[in-house]
Amino acid sequence: MTPAPRVLVGMEVHLQLATATKCFSPSPYHFGADPNTLIDPVVLGLPGALPVLNREAVRLAIRTGLALGAEIAHITKWDRKNYFYPDLPKGYQISQFDQPLCEGGAVEIDGDDGQPKVIRIRRAHLEEDTGKSTHDEGGAKSRVDLNRAGAPLLEIVSEPDITSASEAERYLDALREIVAYVGTSDGNMQEGNLRCEPNVNLVFPNGDRTAIVEVKNINSVRNVGRAIEFEIVRQAREYAEEGRTAENTPRSTRGWDDDAGATVHQRWKESADDYRYFPEPDLPPLAIERAFVERERAELPELPRARRARYRDVLGLSAYDAEVLTGDPHLSAWFERALGGQRDAKTVANWVQGELMRYLNEHKLQLADVALTPEGLGELVDLQSDGTLNARTAKELFREVVASGASVAALVAERGLAQVSDRGAVEAAVRAAMERQAQAVEDFRAGNPKARGRIFGEAMKQLRGQGDPRQVDEVLNTLLG
């Protein structure tokens, strides 16, 4: 039995930046267009076509880097990475070799021990995406769509600080959350605007280590975890049974096969030198003024982990509530507007996570589809907490205004929905209820406490549901004796 190895995972994440056009040409790019319709001469690498850098791609890359706590380069430059691949029409990719835009930084996650854990970022550089190819099952041809070629990618490379599959999943979730908050990428793995390649190897207590394996073609966060789990088992077995280590086995690339739930060998790695990187002669180096960087830094929103901590520590919400409400920046922004700075956070959180989420789930809607404004919910909360509305009426009104967006205060005034808290009116209603439910009054006085519920219900009915239940209860106690 081989003793348990230490697992080392480094992540390479390719993040497609949310620009309207490509990195080095004004060709538009968006997901889901008809094949080969978002192409211009630069994308095809036609003779005489020259790349021109997109300022917005640089800005979004800097913004992402700042959100990760990276250092932004004073001077950054472009390099050609040479290789032949049908989805790379020029025969090289414009990338960054030795002077990346961002260096250093970190993503904080919850480690497997539940404590905060820092995953260091080595670097992040801007480069162009490749096209997309599909391989017919068993066929002799591959089909290529070059729409994606040239779209701006930020490649974010972590240090191998991740030590399990579940930490890798949490790292990706954290990264996705950060880019969603700073608005630099859609971060959607299904649509390929966030792609992740874990680099996995094992270190045994005797110092032996397995060769690093890079896993490609993974399309969900969960599958990143599954692929790493598979590699841990596979590499440990090859070490135990065949004595395979980094000494006698080259690094390799494997592909994730979702149906088989396994990684499949694709190729042995060429060494980095074989890409024959050299400075891109068609693009000058870029100088980035500090004033620009500081302006971008000042515009960063509160980031998800900081916000979660504030919800717990300052607003007094439970860890669970804080987690749910900060999980989506739109939901979080909605909640904060409904909170309006002074309402009770727990009450507003209950409305958002209860009635609002139930409504969204029931009707399969997005937050943006909701007619009710956060301020409208705030109004409803105020009317309930000052006693104007009882809980039941408030919920009924919510169901109405969430779809219509109508003003709660106006509806209350129009329909006379305000809770009846006039003592005289409540007493009259309770007396009327006791008359109508004379049998129940008799039963109650004869020692059947359950009969009281019928009188209470009748009293609420007399008040058309707008009585304050506590007050009705109190009056009923007095009159029943």
Tell me which residues touch another protein (CB under 8 A).
Answer: 12, 14, 19-21, 25-28, 34-41, 44, 52-59, 75, 77, 82-88, 93, 130, 133-136, 139-146, 155, 197, 214, 253, 266-267, 269-270, 274-276, 279, 281, 284-289, 292
Least distance CB 249 / another protein (angstroms)? 18
Nearer to another protein, 50 or 233 (CB): 50
Give the separation between CA 144 and CA 43, rounded to whole angstroms. Answer: 13
Asked whether 50 and 280 are in contact (CB, 8 A), the reply is no
CB of 118 to another protein, least distance (A): 24
**Based on CB atoms, which residue is closest to another protein, 3 or 139?**
139
* C-beta closer to another protein: residue 139 or 447: 139
Query: Who's near 183: CB < 8 A, 6+ residues apart?
Result: 18, 329
Distance in Å, CB of 287 to another protein, minimum: 4
Nearer to another protein, 132 or 310 (CB): 132
What is the rounded CA–CA span in Å between residue 101 and residue 286? Answer: 9
| Helices marked H in 183-267 | 221-242
Q: How near is the Cβ of 96 to another protein at its closest, in Å? A: 13
**DSSP label at 162?**
B
Alpha carbon distance 284, 380 (integer Å):
58
How near is the Cβ of 65 to another protein at its closest, in Å? 14
SS3 state of residue 133: strand
* Angle (CA) 60 61 65, round 5°: 115
Task: Name which of 27 and 245 has its Cβ closer to another protein.
Answer: 27
Work out how close the CB of 183 gets to another protein at its nearest, in angstroms, rounded to a whole number: 14
Q: CA angle 471-476-477, nearest 5°? A: 100
Q: CB of residue 100 vs another protein: minimum separation in angstroms? A: 14
**If we measure between CA atoms, which residue out of 101, 99, 81 comes closest to residue 91?**
81
- Alpha-carbon separation of residue 342 from 304, 336, 339, 394 (angstroms): 21, 10, 6, 20
Going from the C-alpha of 367 to that of each of 352, 358, 372, 397, 407, the distances in angstroms are 11, 12, 10, 18, 18
* Shortest reach from residue 2's CB to another protein, in Å: 30
* Closer of 287 and 446 to another protein (Cβ): 287
What residue type is assigned to position 179 of the chain? V
Q: Contact 181/173 with Cβ under 8 angstroms?
A: no
Residue placing its CB nearer to another protein in the complex, 272 or 319: 272
Measure the CA–CA gap between 384 and 60, rounded to whole angstroms: 43
Q: Exposed, middle or buried by CB within 10 Å (0-12, 13-18, 19+), for 13?
A: buried
Whole-angstrom distance, CA of residue 16 vs CA of residue 2: 41
Looking at the Cβ atoms of 57 and 412, the one nearer to another protein is 57
Q: Are 386 and 372 in contact (CB under 8 A)?
A: no
Residue among 34 and 113 whose Cβ is closer to another protein:
34
d(CA 182, CA 188): 15
Smaller CB separation from another protein, 6 or 276: 276
The DSSP secondary-structure symbol of 127 reads E
Shortest reach from residue 85's CB to another protein, in Å: 5
Cβ nearer to another protein, comparing 21 with 462: 21
What minimum distance in Å lies between the beta carbon of 224 and another protein? 15
Question: Whats the size of the chain, residue-wise?
Answer: 481
SS3 letters for 287-306?
ECCHHHHHHHHHCCCCCHHH
CB of 198 to another protein, least distance (A): 12
